[in-house]
Structure 1
Amino acid sequence: MNRRTFLSGGVTSLCLIQTARFPVFSQSSLGASVAKPDWLVDLVKGNDQQLITVRTLRITEATNPAFGGFKDWEDIPNPQTTSDFIRRACCAMACPESVHYRSKIILDETHLALQFLLKIQHFDGTLDLPATNFHSTPDTGFIVKRLTTAYSLLSRSGTPDMAGVLATFKSFLIRAGEALIVGGIHTPNHRWVVSAALTKLNTLWPDARYVARVNQWLSEHIDMDIDGQYNERSTLIYSPLTNRLLITIAKGLNKPELLDYVRRNLTMTLYYLHPNGELVTEASGRQDKAGVGTPEGYYYAYRYLALLDKNGEMAALCRQMEKTLLPKLIHYLDYFLNDPSIWRELPPSQPLPANYVKAFRKSGLVRIRRNGWDSTILSANPVWLTFHKGNAILQGVRMAASFFGKGQFLTESIDKQGDSWILTQSLEGPYYQTYPPETIAVDGDWEKMPRSNRKQSEIQRLQTRITIHEAERGIEAIIQITGTDGVPVAVELIFRPGGSFTGVSKHPTRDNAYLLSGSGSYTVQNDTITFGPGLQQHKGVLLRGALAPMDAPTVYLTGFTPFEHTITLS
């Protein structure tokens, strides 16, 4: 899709006022008098298309206890799918560009959905997340922070006969607010979810208790490290979420200092981009660890700060996402509709970082990018190296040795020496002597004679050192393993599925496994990674104590200690 020219004429008519750095617009109708830029109109129409699918999940049988609510794809009625419909429906009813603008049918379905939410809302105002959490303040906060915006959009839409719907809407939100001012949380980002939801409630119905609770959470300070990353290091899910939440709190409670955290994270994230537009996820501490994904969740924050700070790099990434990820931005339509300040034309683009070596020590990784290829070195992770070259992706290098069932390589640190990065591991494999006679269990119960009380002997040792540095058009890794001799070693080169190999041979007994003697290559579309030289001294690719193979095409290099081998990726 070609990005159309932005329309900016209608935005200036909104009577922009400046208050403590924040652009504030009037709360008048978002009707036809305000011209939306073309990218936003495309999102409104995309939301209409997605509503077709969402509405198939609606429970229409009047005798069903969940009548009016929405179920997930496993047929479980739940507040999350229901609130997702309400949010989308209010976006549609508020936009003249939507086929559902001021729709009586959609309004009625929204009212029934809200009545379902009220029905399943607990006495304390909380909701459940049926997959795992019950009477959950955080999951209530996730819903409230979006539905407060939906309420605002609907209230300004001019939809006929909406008064009764808004009354039900308000009852649900006010009851939820009572939970948010007292309830607890599970994870770091939950504090900001609850705080953003309370901030939005306070904007609609000011209450000193809402503000006091937000300030309680904020008194714990923002969980950001020196690299600019939040505690959970969740680049696909919770970092972009936290950025949106902090902007909401900053704007709603006039706390511009919170934007400094957002700036730092957005600046850091520019160095977490692969050449194909995907995000580095291997250092995440949450469920998106090693996931494949793109940065659409950051779009609102990048656009907001690009305009506020006149930042050309952030503007460039926004334009890139508009060209390549526009359908994925539909999920955030309510953010865009409710904030006309971001409808303005972006500042001129500046080149994104594409040629750098940058260490993020708190996150335990080093990023190397040279325009069309990039590599990530990782600590505290069985995957200690990745290599991306366009669509051809080596998603992980792992290594294990058959050493007392604990030979999976894992480095605790990445040390810089000159132009190289050093990864190390030291292992011991002891044997144990007879138990001290005076404390032998009378009944001979082994569990009553802990091994820690036995003297060690015949201690075996294994030291691993990996030296990584740039080579011509790529990366070179020198692997050295010393100590006990004759230990089988297997190095895994794990590729993302979808490509074709040359130079490798199929493993005789393992699926999706290949052996390498010379040089190999892996090609996806027009992109090729070359790797090698290989090493094939045995066929033991699933060693005792090693992690299970990944469900991906994997090339193995095998040998014995003392082991020394150099792998080049380009």
Structure 2
Amino acid sequence: MEPMYMKLVQLNDEWTEAGLQLQVADPASKYDGGVMDETTGIPRANHLGTPAVMAAWAASLVNADSRYYRQAELREALEKASAFLLRRQHADGTISLGSTNFNSPPDTAFVVGGMTQIYRLLEQANWPELAPALANIRLFLERTIPALQTGGCHTPNHRWVITAALAQLHDIFGHPELLVRAEEWLSEGMDMTEDGEWTERSNGIYNAVSNISLFHTARALNRPALLEYVRRNLRMMAYLIHPDGEVVTDYSGRQDLGQTFNLSNYFLVCRLMAAHDRDPLFAAMSDYAGSFISQYKEGVNNHPMVGVLLFPSSLEGLEREPLPERYVKRLNFGHPMEAHLKQAGQVGHHMKIQHSSMHLAFGAPVVRVRDGNDSVTMMAKAPSFFSLRHGKARLLGVKLATSFAPGVVMFDSLEEAEQGAFKLRTLLEKGYSGPIPAASLRELRLNESMSPWYLLPHHLRPMTHLQQFELAADIAQGDQAWTLRLRSDEREDVFAQLTFVFGSEGEVEGSGVEPISDGRFLYKEGTLTYAAGPDVIEIASGAFEHRLPELRDVQHPNGCLYAHVNLLSPFDHTVTIRLR
């Protein structure tokens, strides 16, 4: 048998056993039959909670290769869990995420996306003793229909999660209204650049969510054209993998920003697409992603064992195309980002959206450079503009902050200056607001003796004394080295701080490196070395042009090492990063 299949069978049995240990067995409890969340201790009906464990149980029960195949104890556990799911379902058919998002149509859709697959898998088993669990699951799904036919979303990917749920519900119940609603979402069009980047730029989480959702939508609605967007994103992701399998999250627009993720959540969609297209690259990506699956962390809608059993997709006999390891890849350099942002001002939403983000960094340029064990990312519209992996040594990010518009600088543009050299630019602006025109005040009819600040139409104030501050970063690659040249315009006495963010597993040293707190250093002069195992990153040189240990409105995540270079404008400062 295929080694990956056997690995999944073994892991799924382990997940099954772990879930059984956490199931509540107390008929007097409202949580009876639910599976406790290990972090909160509270069983949840969300896609990462009890339904995800039910997926593992269902796969074990129907798979003759599992040691739990048709085991009575597990069948009873599944039945109790399905009853728990019904009890936790709200009267309007929704479930709540638990941490937030109460009575949530999109979170319900996440669950439906997986429970429809569980229902199909159990139904195909043709085992009469599953009838009570099947009836509960079908009732749960049926109850969700009104909410999904009318409910909205928060984020861009939610649209495709809901659409996939509607499509799979239609597959079971056949209600034409489900298709009507699915088409309403699909008519908004796909939010992807030509190079394959989704709106949320979330390589760690939401790319995979959108991809698997579109795969099921395309399958259930017989819309194969939708698969082109899945292909496009997967081909992009082949260039967003560090040498150790970690995916690039340096510029994400979601909660995976700067966090550590591997490719495991792409396993199923890569496998399904490899089988569908007979594509050697997708097959190699599926193998590689599968090598990182160790503990269960995927939602019920993207469960690897359920997906493999329900959609047979053997990759045996399919050649593999090696994943790229040496390249300079430019992403989104042709995307009309500036034109789109100008159009956004005419739409009427005034750059505000409830319970979500405008994701104005969508389509910002990114450059990826791989040379074996060295991996570099350059990016615009992100808190960090440069990051580097050299074997085990991780320079997680390089950030520039200023006191002009207090906070971290996000460069607006990234362009190629010449072969192997790139430039980032931004123009910061900050002005002052004049008095509101008298005619506008008369229209408001405010009480002259008392005028609350928040009632005033601040958008009507004329701008005065508008100030600008131009910044640039030039990046060039040399032989086992990179140079970063940071430049400002001629404005005087703007405090700036260049920060190097390192992984906590290494050590920072240098005669001109002064500790200022746990894990934080001022890099004043000379050479800084950061070593992790045998791999060393060497930086020269630092600066200490002002004494501030940190600037206003600058936040750094915990669990890293930080070295700050203090600059005062006007500055033209070059650092050289050598790898050894």
Query: TM-score scaled by structure 1?
Result: 0.85
Task: After superposition, give the CA deviation of every residue in 1:33-83 in whole Å (9 maximum; x if it has no partner).
Answer: xxxx23212212212212333233322111112222233231333212221
**Residue among 537, 548, 558 paired with 1:529:** 537
**Residue among 250, 256, 265 paired with 2:233:** 265
8 Å CA contact 1:70, 1:79 repeated in 2: no
8 Å CA contact 1:461, 1:483 repeated in 2: no
**Residue among 96, 102, 105 paired with 2:70:** 102
Q: SS state of the match for residue 262, structure 1?
A: helix
1:21 is aligned to none
Question: Which amino acid letter does the alignment assign opposite residue 271 of structure 1?
Answer: Y
1:82 is aligned to 50
CA distance, structure 2, for counterparts of residue 84 and residue 446 of structure 1: 51
2:157 is aligned to 189
| Shift in alpha-carbon separation, 1:217–1:484, aligned structure 2, 3 A | closer
Question: Which amino acid letter does the alignment assign opposite residue 187 of structure 1?
Answer: T
1:91-240 mapped onto 2 (5 Å cutoff): 91-159=59-127, 161-240=129-208
CA distance, structure 1, for counterparts of residue 162 and residue 402 of structure 2: 47
Task: After superposition, give the CA deviation of every residue in 1:166-224 in whole Å (9 maximum; x if it has no partner).
Answer: 22222222222333223222222222212222322333333323333222322222222
Task: After superposition, give the CA deviation of every residue in 1:527-565 in whole Å (9 maximum; x if it has no partner).
Answer: 222222222344423123444575411112223222111
- Tell me whether 1:305 sits opposite 2:279 in the alignment: no
1:348 is aligned to 320
- Tell me whether 1:50 sits opposite 2:51 in the alignment: no
- Tell me whether 1:373 sits opposite 2:374 in the alignment: yes
Matched pairs, number? 532
8 Å CA contact 1:102, 1:157 repeated in 2: no
CA distance, structure 2, for counterparts of residue 241 and residue 432 of structure 1: 43
1:411 is aligned to 411
8 Å CA contact 1:283, 1:364 repeated in 2: no
8 Å CA contact 2:383, 2:399 repeated in 1: yes
1:487-526 mapped onto 2 (5 Å cutoff): 487-503=494-510, 507-516=514-523, 517-526=525-534
| Shift in alpha-carbon separation, 1:329–1:543, aligned structure 2, 3 A | closer
- Tell me whether 1:337 sits opposite 2:309 in the alignment: yes
The structure that has the greater radius of gyration is 1
Question: Which amino acid letter does the alignment assign opposite residue 304 of structure 2?
Answer: Y
Q: SS state of the match for residue 271, structure 1?
A: coil
8 Å CA contact 2:31, 2:43 repeated in 1: yes
8 Å CA contact 1:401, 1:546 repeated in 2: no
| Shift in alpha-carbon separation, 1:215–1:326, aligned structure 2, 3 A | same
Q: Give the superposition deviation at 1:417.
A: 2.4
**Residue among 472, 480, 487 paired with 1:473:** 480
1:544 is aligned to 552
Q: SS state of the match for residue 18, structure 2?
A: helix
8 Å CA contact 1:488, 1:560 repeated in 2: yes
Question: Which amino acid letter does the alignment assign opposite residue 373 of structure 1?
Answer: D
CA distance, structure 2, for counterparts of residue 376 and residue 222 of structure 1: 26
| Shift in alpha-carbon separation, 1:534–1:174, aligned structure 2, 3 A | same
Q: SS state of the match for residue 70, structure 2?
A: coil
CA distance, structure 1, for counterparts of residue 306 and residue 242 of structure 2: 28
8 Å CA contact 2:16, 2:60 repeated in 1: no
Q: Give the superposition deviation at 1:286.
A: 1.6
Q: SS state of the match for residue 77, structure 1?
A: coil
- Tell me whether 1:284 sits opposite 2:252 in the alignment: yes
CA distance, structure 2, for counterparts of residue 449 and residue 225 of structure 1: 37
CA distance, structure 1, for counterparts of residue 408 and residue 503 of structure 2: 21
8 Å CA contact 2:238, 2:323 repeated in 1: no
1:425 is aligned to 426
| Shift in alpha-carbon separation, 1:386–1:286, aligned structure 2, 3 A | same
Q: Give the superposition deviation at 1:140.
A: 1.3
Q: Give the superposition deviation at 1:157.
A: 2.9
| Shift in alpha-carbon separation, 1:352–1:461, aligned structure 2, 3 A | closer
Task: After superposition, give the CA deviation of every residue in 1:308-367 in whole Å (9 maximum; x if it has no partner).
Answer: 333222222223234444556984221111111235443233452522231324133222
2:575 is aligned to 567
Task: After superposition, give the CA deviation of every residue in 1:82-104 in whole Å (9 maximum; x if it has no partner).
Answer: 21222111011011222211011
Instruction: State the superposition RMSD in angstroms.
Output: 3.1
1:484 is aligned to 491
Q: Which runs of 4+ in 1 moved over 6 A?
A: 429-439, 441-446, 448-455
8 Å CA contact 2:251, 2:384 repeated in 1: no
Q: Give the superposition deviation at 1:482.
A: 3.0
CA distance, structure 1, for counterparts of residue 292 and residue 257 of structure 2: 23
Q: Which runs of 5 or more structure 1 residues have no equivalent in the other structure? A: 1-6, 8-36
Question: Which amino acid letter does the alignment assign opposite residue 561 of structure 2?
Answer: P
- Tell me whether 1:382 sits opposite 2:383 in the alignment: yes
CA distance, structure 1, for counterparts of residue 190 and residue 459 of structure 2: 44
422-431 vs 538-547, which deviates more?
422-431
Sequence identity percentage: 29
CA distance, structure 2, for counterparts of residue 432 and residue 349 of structure 1: 59
443-452 vs 338-347, which deviates more?
443-452
Q: Give the superposition deviation at 1:429.
A: 6.2
8 Å CA contact 1:505, 1:514 repeated in 2: no
Query: TM-score scaled by structure 2?
Result: 0.83
2:358 is aligned to none
Question: Which amino acid letter does the alignment assign opposite residue 34 of structure 2?
Answer: G
Q: SS state of the match for residue 336, structure 1?
A: helix
CA distance, structure 2, for counterparts of residue 470 and residue 225 of structure 1: 27
CA distance, structure 2, for counterparts of residue 210 and residue 428 of structure 1: 48
2:471 is aligned to 464
2:345 is aligned to none
8 Å CA contact 2:243, 2:391 repeated in 1: yes
8 Å CA contact 2:265, 2:289 repeated in 1: no
Question: Which amino acid letter does the alignment assign opposite residue 401 of structure 2?
Answer: A
| Shift in alpha-carbon separation, 1:541–1:551, aligned structure 2, 3 A | farther
Q: SS state of the match for residue 516, structure 2?
A: coil
1:24 is aligned to none
CA distance, structure 2, for counterparts of residue 216 and residue 395 of structure 1: 41
424-433 vs 523-532, which deviates more?
424-433
8 Å CA contact 1:43, 1:327 repeated in 2: no
